[in-house]
Amino acid sequence: MGESAEPSLESLIAQWEFVLTAGTFEETLHALEEIVQRLEDGHLSLEGALRCYELGVRMARRCEMMLDEAELRITRLDDASDDEPCESREETTEDWQPSTG
């Protein structure tokens, strides 16, 4: 009784599907790595392998989508910073006059 039972494929798929819908990029990537490991181990039935493969494809697409969104955010930030002048009017010293008083 000292050995812990490995989770069933059904429970793993349920966990992975939850990660697919609500997980972060890192969680999704980790779940995808777990799926790949299961497929590489070769101990799945044909049906189990197909289900894992399908879920893995969906996870890979979601990871790609999240990376695309992050890249778009970075591009927008870069574009926004390119539109702003390096120095604002208040920061220039050309017209500065010492105050007398």
pLDDT at 34: 97
Closest CA to 38 of 15, 63, 69: 15
Closest CA to 16 of 60, 70, 47: 60
pLDDT tens by residue, 54-100: 999 999 999 999 999 999 999 999 888 877 665 554 555 555 565 56
pLDDT at 3: 55
Q: What is the token pair recorded at 43?
A: 């101990």
pLDDT at 80: 84
pTM for the whole thing? 0.71
User: Is the Cβ–Cβ distance between 46 and 8 less than 8 Å?
Assistant: no
pLDDT at 89: 47
What are the domain boundaries of the chain?
Answer: 9-74
CA–CA separation, 67 vs 34, rounded Å? 20
pLDDT tens by residue, 13-56: 999 999 999 999 999 999 999 999 999 999 999 999 999 999 99
CA–CA separation, 40 vs 55, rounded Å? 15
